[in-house]
Every structure is written in structure tokens, then in C-alpha cells.
Amino acid sequence: MRHLVAWLPAFRLERCGHGADTLAALIDEVKGATRIVASTPAAAGCGLVPGVTASEARGRVPDVVLVPLDAAAERQDRTALLRALEALSDRVSFGWEDAVVAEISATSAVFGGERATAEQALALLASFGHEARVAVADDPLGALAVATTSDAPLRILSPGAPLGEVPLGALRPSPSLAEAFAVVGLRTCAALAGLDAASVVGRYGADGARLRRVARGERVGLGVATDLTTPDAVRVSTPLPGATTRGELMFVLPGLLGLLCRRLADHDRAVVRLRVVLVLDGGSRRIVSVRVGRPTRSVPRLERAIRTRIDTLIADPGGDAPPVPIDELRLEVEESAPETGWQPGLTERAEHREPLPDLLSRLGDQLGEGAVFRPVLVDRWRPETCWRREAFPAPALVTRPPAPLDDPVVAQESREQALPVPRPSLLLPRPERLEVETDGHGPARVRLPVSTAGREGPAWEGVRRRAGPERLFGEWWAPGALEREYWAVDLGGRTAWIFRDPGGWSLHGWFD
């Protein structure tokens, strides 16, 4: 397996418009003071390194530009960069805060080889305004070490090649491990690679052994293709060759969610919004975004939230086509929040009111967008189609000038619309056939459909009062033209809305 790593030493400042040569630093509140959290190489050369307070930085370099950290914007930029690099590989992530990892084993051939792929990556990053150094190697950490220590912007390490004289510090050992290496004079990867495996494990533990394997050119890897430093970009995936059913997806979902939650737990984060991606046979994707009401790492809660949306993912948007085989199920964290836990309390402590847009978004995510709406009336005669669904809340009202009433057509329509026509409060999703006896003027006895009759079953009921007919005609150009005669009939305390068309009588609603 081959990995391309793009090292972006000044990413956090470059995205703010400050190149590597400018004296600029990123500041944020850390340990009760405003401190530098990142700086350009030029600023770092002047001693403006992470941890230095803002006032101290201004004292040392009066001309330094201090930029407040905008974490949300930075996350967005990282995501945008990953999306762009997905043009080169479908497995891209920020493996480290300053480096992007792309697994290119399967895709490099498409772009003309590893070198051509790396050149394209460089060009792509340059188009975003980032100076990068790119390396390709078997192991991502090995590639990062080569990228950070090489003078050339691009370097390819052949498969299985050891890192050689690359400094050990480039493998980013922990401070204690770095000190332990230094004590015995280990400074290069070649020196570490030459040691006996057993003695490395005994002296430096699992971390030391892992770095030794990387130094020897062996692949250790990052495990699941995830971004381990920016939790909002964590994603996990599993192959599902040929799966077509909901059951197959639900079978693997808990395990995959568990893996995702463990990754998030490493960062003490919880899911706010999750994207479920089905990669279908042929490469197309179906995507749905799921938002949970409260940040959570609970697998059952996440599973519950996803379960309702899986059907919409599997269903063929076109209609009756057979299901397309699924190649892969992927879960991506779109938004995360610090995990603060939740103590419900014995009496439900009051919480802040949830903003309406958030509430609507959650309801839409959970129930489907079409399930949450504001009804709007439409100027049509057919009762079923004289309203439509719009987003809630309504946009700000715009005052329209009144229509001129001297136009006879407008005046007539206005009079018609003002007529007090009875409309039921409940309308059946579909009219249901029923039996009606008339007395020459209108309905006299009614036998309701089985679905709406009482326990005793359908029986003839006398009409106590009636109002009608209201005749609706139209849509003569379409099949199933509208040709109905509506009546409101009182069936002893219950008032039904029924109509007669060429096919017979139907129950359409209730004046409930």
C-alpha cells in the first residue's frame, strides 16, 4: 500500500493570507492567556513559537501580525482541502495537523503514476495558496518524515526502501522517547533500524518498535482511514461487496459506529452531525446527513438516528428499478462538539431553549425533509392539490399592491375566492368509495367504508342535515378530469364530506 503525504508547514497561517516569509502568528486563549498556537516559519525563527503570550510576542517583534484563531473557519478550510484532494484518491485525511495523507495504491495509475499524482497534488495545493512538500512511501509516517526533511518539493521513496539518514525527530517521537533516543546517541532512522527488534521493544516499548519498523521501510499505517487530529473530519468505512438490503447495512452499522465513537473518544468529542455515504457498484454515491439532538457517542442513539434514514438511502430515487449493489458503507463526522456528558437530574434541570432552525433541522434530518413543512394554499380547484408544502418559517412578508378591481375577470375571481365554501378540517389521503341512497334532491342514507365505520362494521346511517351540492369541474385536458359534486352530510353528530363523480360516491373528508 502506498501513501502520499503533503506536508503543509504554514497551513494555518496561509489560509489566513500570510505566507511562510511573513511575520505572522495565530493566537487563541490558552491556559488563561492569549497565546500563540501557530506561527509562520519566519515568525518561528524569531522565537514566536506556540505557547508564547501575545504581549510577549509583540514585545519581541513589534511588527508581528497576530491573527485570532477562527476554529470553525479552519475546520471548513480543512474539509474543503480534503474534498479537493479526493479528486486524486477516495481515502484522504488530515493524518496530522499539518499534513494530509492520501492512500494512492489504487488510484495513482489513473493519473500516470505516483510522481504524476504527487505533482498534481502539489499543483492542487498551490491553487489553494499553500506551499507544500510531498512525499510518497509505504507508510504515512515514513512519507511525512521524508517530506519534512527533504529539500526538494517532491520525493518518492521506492516500495520497501528504508528511511536511511532521515533524523529520528522527523518520526515525531514523544518527548520522553526522543530523550531516550538521545541519551544513547540514536539520531537517525538508519541507526534505529539497525538495532535488534527485541532490544528495541524491551528498551523503548511498543512506540519504539513501531518507529523502528517505519525506519526500516515497513508499513505500520494509521489504521482506519481517518483524520485523527481534526475530529470533525473523522470517518470510517467498511466494504460491503454486493449488499443490497437494509438488513445487511444494519448488520454492520453498530460495529462501524462503535469504531467511529472510539475514534471520537480519543479526542473527547461527540457527534453532532454525521454523514452516511453509500458507495454503489459503479462508483456513484448516495449521501444522507443525520443530525442528533444532543452531542453523543452513544452507538444505540446514533443507530436509531440513522435507522430511519437508511431506507431513503437504499430506495431507488427513480422508482421501480431493482436495488443497486452497494460496495461500501462510509460514516463521516460532519460536525462534532466536546463531550460534556449529560446528567438528566432528578427533576429535569431547565436548559436553554433550542434555536428554531436547529430544531427544524433535527426534525427534518430524523423524519425526512418532506415531513416538516408549512402549508401554502394554491389557486387550484381540485381539493387534493390546492395546497403545497413550503419551508417553515415563512420568509419575511412582502407587501403586494392590490390587484385592480376594475378588471372584470379579477373582480369575479376575487368574489369567488371570498365565497364561504365549506372545507373539511380533515381530508383522507385518498377518497374512499361508499354507498349512498338519494331522495331525489341529495344524499338521504349513507353506508360508510369499512375503514371508517365503527366496531359494528358498516351500516346504513340516515342523513340528518346536508349542504350542497358544490360542483367542481376542470382539468378536462388531463386524464381523470375533475368532475365532482360535493356534499356535507350530518350523520348524527358526525359530519362527512362526500362527493359523487362518474364512478360513484366517495368519502373525502370530515368536518371534524
> 10 Å Cβ neighbour count for 251?
12
Q: Which three cell numbers stand for residue 132?
A: 507544500
User: Contact 284/278 with Cβ under 8 angstroms?
Assistant: no
Position 354 contacts another protein (CB under 8 A): yes
Identify which of 123, 181, 158 has the alpha carbon closest to the alpha carbon of residue 2: 158
Q: Which three cell numbers stand for residue 466?
A: 346536508
User: Contact 142/2 with Cβ under 8 angstroms?
Assistant: no
d(CA 240, CA 228): 24
The CA-CA-CA angle for residues 116, 121, 126, to 5°, reads 125
**Shortest separation between residue 296's beta carbon and another protein, angstroms:** 15
Q: Which three cell numbers stand for residue 42?
A: 519566519
State which of residues 33, 152, 287, 359 lies at the interface with another protein (CB under 8 A): 359
State which of residues 424, 442, 458, 469 lies at the interface with another protein (CB under 8 A): 424
Position 398 contacts another protein (CB under 8 A): no
Q: In this complex, which beta carbon is closest to another protein, that of residue 322 or of residue 370? A: 370
* Residue bearing cell 394554499: 377
Position 511 contacts another protein (CB under 8 A): yes
User: Contact 383/427 with Cβ under 8 angstroms?
Assistant: yes
State which of residues 392, 417, 437, 460 lies at the interface with another protein (CB under 8 A): 392
The three-state secondary structure class of 365 is helix
**Shortest separation between residue 69's beta carbon and another protein, angstroms:** 32
d(CA 465, CA 455): 24
**Residue span binding another protein (CB under 8 A) among the ranges 96-104, 188-196, 212-220, 422-430:** 422-430
Strands 482-490, 495-501: parallel, antiparallel or unpaired by DSSP? Answer: antiparallel
* Structural element, H or E, at residue 100: strand 99-103
State which of residues 172, 286, 423, 445 lies at the interface with another protein (CB under 8 A): 423
Q: In this complex, which beta carbon is closest to another protein, that of residue 60 or of residue 464? A: 464
**Shortest separation between residue 429's beta carbon and another protein, angstroms:** 6
Among positions 303-322, residues that touch another protein (CB under 8 A) are 304, 307-308, 311
Question: What type of residue is 144?
Answer: L
Q: In this complex, which beta carbon is closest to another protein, that of residue 493 or of residue 502? A: 493
**Shortest separation between residue 411's beta carbon and another protein, angstroms:** 22
366 φ, ψ (degrees, to nearest 5): -75, -40
d(CA 67, CA 70): 9
State which of residues 206, 346, 418, 478 lies at the interface with another protein (CB under 8 A): 346
Position 347 contacts another protein (CB under 8 A): yes
Position 375 contacts another protein (CB under 8 A): yes
Question: What type of residue is 46?
Answer: C
User: Contact 147/5 with Cβ under 8 angstroms?
Assistant: yes
Strands 92-96, 24-30: parallel, antiparallel or unpaired by DSSP? Answer: unpaired
d(CA 276, CA 281): 16
Q: In this complex, which beta carbon is closest to another protein, that of residue 128 or of residue 510? A: 510
Position 394 contacts another protein (CB under 8 A): yes
The three-state secondary structure class of 115 is helix
Q: Which three cell numbers stand for residue 127?
A: 491553487
**Shortest separation between residue 367's beta carbon and another protein, angstroms:** 5
Find the distance separating the first CA and the last CA of the chain, reported in whole Å.
Answer: 68
**Shortest separation between residue 421's beta carbon and another protein, angstroms:** 8
Identify which of 379, 488, 375 has the alpha carbon closest to the alpha carbon of residue 423: 488
**Shortest separation between residue 47's beta carbon and another protein, angstroms:** 49
User: Contact 54/35 with Cβ under 8 angstroms?
Assistant: yes
Among positions 258-297, residues that touch another protein (CB under 8 A) are 293
Q: In this complex, which beta carbon is closest to another protein, that of residue 217 or of residue 431? A: 431
Position 383 contacts another protein (CB under 8 A): yes
Q: Which three cell numbers stand for residue 379?
A: 389557486
**Shortest separation between residue 375's beta carbon and another protein, angstroms:** 3
**Residue span binding another protein (CB under 8 A) among the ranges 228-236, 300-308, 327-335, 436-444:** 300-308
Q: If binding means CB under 8 A, how many residues of this protein chain bind another protein?
A: 62
**Shortest separation between residue 496's beta carbon and another protein, angstroms:** 6
Task: Provide the mask over 100-119, with x wherever binding to another protein is found by CB under 8 A and - wherever it is not.
Answer: --------------------
**Shortest separation between residue 464's beta carbon and another protein, angstroms:** 8
**Residue span binding another protein (CB under 8 A) among the ranges 107-115, 319-327, 375-383, 472-480:** 375-383
**Residue span binding another protein (CB under 8 A) among the ranges 188-196, 249-257, 318-326, 339-347:** 339-347
**Shortest separation between residue 365's beta carbon and another protein, angstroms:** 11
Q: In this complex, which beta carbon is closest to another protein, that of residue 281 or of residue 303? A: 303
Q: Which three cell numbers stand for residue 319?
A: 422508482
Among positions 429-468, residues that touch another protein (CB under 8 A) are 429, 452, 464-467
The CA-CA-CA angle for residues 89, 93, 96, to 5°, reads 140
Among positions 463-492, residues that touch another protein (CB under 8 A) are 464-467, 488, 490-491
Q: Facing residues of 450 across strands?
A: none
The three-state secondary structure class of 312 is helix
Position 128 contacts another protein (CB under 8 A): no
User: Contact 495/472 with Cβ under 8 angstroms?
Assistant: no
Question: What type of residue is 381?
Answer: W
| Residues that bind another protein in the complex, under the rule CB under 8 A | 293, 304, 307-308, 311, 345-351, 353-354, 356, 359-360, 362-363, 366-368, 370-377, 383, 386-387, 392-394, 397, 421-429, 452, 464-467, 488, 490-491, 493-496, 509-512
